[in-house]
A and B are shown apart, each in its own frame.
Chain A
């Protein structure tokens, strides 16, 4: 029986997984947009985004637009790669679970 892969713990967190799933479909996203899509609190969202940033899965850009602060998040190539690997592993595990 083939060995089942392990799931990446950085991505596996529910909110972090939701964030990466949102970011993979867009070029860049504002903090406020991510907050409204996930329904997370500012503190929790900021903490999870920081973990993703520390892992090198997202990059952050802070700027001012019309004198208002704007924080933009982008998925990095490493993040895209890790996310795809995670989905493949998840599907493989589910395939194994269904088959067993």
Chain B
């Protein structure tokens, strides 16, 4: 083998390594729809509470949303021809969101049942938790768009502590729209683009 051919073979090996590592990392599932889903769930809960002032509207809506979200994810996994392997980064991000979900699921009903609940505390706590989860996720995967949503949630946290009840509701509605609906749709567009770009890679 000539020196040039040998060098080319080594270069081929290096590009094979790079392409396969990239292929392995491209295994994160499609999660952007969950932002839109939960944004809509928040809107349903807010509308329901505003309509008949039923104190358990949030609890019922969130429980229903959890079950529906879980059922959709299970169905997605069932329809996959092959199980996508998990990555450490993927597990780290999922852990953050599960921990945040559990924290909110315990704290908010506890505040409600203890009578220490009010609208400002509710919006501030939810926004702070969402800021935390989005901020941590955005920093882990170095995605500026998600870090930007964290900044919006953190701004909502501070704003919720001031102003009237109506202003607090407006802040929450705007934050949900920007950070759940708009960001979720943007994420879905990015995921669709990535799927389109992805071609079959063979060794």
Contact = CB atoms under 8 A, between A and B. Distances in A.
B contacts with A: majority SS: helix
B86 A22 contact: no
Interface in B180-203: 200-203
B20 A94 contact: no
Contacts of B165: none
Interface string B21-32: 101110100000
A14 to B, nearest CB: 6
Contact of B14 (A18, A26, A30, A91): A91
Interface string B5-26: 0110011011011011101110
B85 A21 contact: no
A23 interface: yes
A60 to B, nearest CB: 14
A9 B188 CA distance: 43
A22 B20 contact: yes
Contact of A12 (B3, B13, B27): B13
Most buried by B among A17, A23, A29, A37: A37
Interface residues of B, number: 29
Interface string A18-44: 110111111111101100111110000
Interface in B24-52: 24-25, 27
Interface in B67-105: 81-88, 91
A97 B20 contact: no
Contact of B201 (A14, A19, A37, A97): A37
Interface residues of A, number: 32
Contacts of B200: 39
Nearest to B11: A94
8 contacts: A18-B203, A26-B87, A27-B91, A29-B85, A33-B82, A39-B202, A94-B14, A100-B3
The list of the 8 closest CB pairs from A to B, nearest first, reads: A25-B24, A39-B202, A21-B20, A18-B203, A26-B85, A29-B85, A97-B7, A38-B203
